[in-house]
Each structure stands twice: as C-alpha cells, then as structure tokens.
Amino acid sequence: MKTGAIIQARMSSTRFPEKILKELIGNITILDVLIDRISSCEFIDSITLATSLNPKDKILENFSKTKGINFFAGSENDVLERYYLCAKRYELDNIIRVTADDPFKDPAVIKKAYDIFINNSLDYVSNTLKPSYPEGIDIEIFNFISLKEAFLNANLPSEREHVTPYIWKNSDLFKLKNFTAEVDYSNYRLTVDYEEDYNLAKKILKHFYPNITFSYKQIIEFLQSKNITSYKIERNEGYKNSIKMEKNNEY
C-alpha cells in the first residue's frame, strides 16, 4: 500500500495572491514550512505538489525540484480531476489531502488520522466534518478507490473544485469517520488566506524558530500567553462561497 501526500497549490489566489511563496522568516516560505513539517511523517511514501497548467504556476515546478518532491500540473478549476490524475500517475493507494496555505499542519494530527484510517479500514477520515481543531490543522485521508468514484460521479462545481464533498456527502457509499480533539480550538485560525493571517504566521514561526516541528497545541499556548486571538472569518469560506455560487448559477 502506497500512501502519498498531495499538496494542492496555486499562485493565483484571489484573496491573497502568491501567498504560498511568501517568506515567513529569512528566505523560508509558507510552502517550505509546510513541506518540512509533513516530511517528518515516516508513513508518507511520497509528497507531490499538485498545481495547475496556468503559466503563473510554472514557478512551482522549479520549487518542487528544489525541495526534492514530486510535481504534477492539471486542471486549474477541476481540482478533483487534478487529484485523481495525480494519484493515478504516482500509483497511490491512499491519499493525504493537504492545502498549501496551511503551513502549520501538525504531523501528530496527520499520524492520528492515518492510524484511524488504517485501523478501521476506512474509505475516508477527517477532522473537518465536525471541526474541533484550529482551521489550518484540518486533514483528510481517503483511498484511491473512493477518489476514483468521486472523479467519475461528482457533477456539482463545488464537488469538482473542493475534491472531497462527493465522498463525505455520500455516507451510504463510503465508510467515513470524523475524529475530534480533546479540547475544542476550532475558533482559532492557523491558515493563511489574508494579510492578517500571514502576519500572525510570521509571529508564530519567529517565536519557535529554528524549531519547525512544534505542535498546534504549542502554538495555541503561545497565542494564549500573548493574548492573541483569531479575528473572525467564516470557517470553510471558500467552500461556502462555492455553494452560494451554485445556488445563484454563477459558475
């Protein structure tokens, strides 16, 4: 069984363009921190940077070569297709979905998800269906069979753009599980969608550097010690905007 992390990435973010190559400290970028952190997961057989065929994303091919990870370019808007073709090319049995704007993905949380996934013979596991972790510590793992089913049968634009909705909306077809944290920190944001998120991420890395394997709980402790609270942004804003666009026939 081959398990691979696929990082979906693009340079043309509408909310904060080129954010994933923004430097957090020195010449260390958001994407550097993310890749270095998930590289510590020994059960991950490969890491692939999966981007689009948009010329703006060409720079990510050179980045992947520098980091020594795989590279794949596919559809810009049909991210489900991009994942499917990427997983097929690299012959993955299990896929860990990672979004490039979450530099602080926690290896311990990924390991917890992986153990639950394997030990329960699941099709899909996540901590996102009932959020209790900070946004940015989200993780999803699914098998190739389920990904293929979604690729062949998902029809809604939101299902194509956000990869997994077809799977987790069809609990009668797939064996699903959501896991939760011991303490609910879902009100915290550890993702980078806006300038404010970026400034916070810089503060976090500056505090812990040169250590980059700190846990999300250590981040929360640091933020609490400095009385830093997350500003309010609706969770899963991108997916909810997609649903709104579908209802308004704006796709």
- The structural domains of the chain, with segments of one domain joined by +, span 3-247
The residue among 180, 179, 178, 148 whose CA lies nearest residue 163 is 148
**Which CATH code of 3.90.550.10, 1.10.10.10, 3.40.50.300, 3.40.1190.20 fits the domain covering 3-247?**
3.90.550.10
Rounded Cα–Cα distance for residues 30 and 19 (Å): 8
Q: Please state, for a pLDDT cut of 90, what percent of the chain lies above it.
A: 88
Say if residues 140 and 97 touch (Cβ distance below 8 Å): yes
Rounded to the nearest 5 percent, the helix, strand and coil shares of the chain are 40, 15, 45
Q: Write the pLDDT tens digit of every residue in 198-248.
A: 999 999 999 999 999 999 999 999 999 999 877 667 777 676 667 667 777
Residue 55 pLDDT? 95
pTM value surpassing 0.85: yes
Residue 17 pLDDT? 85
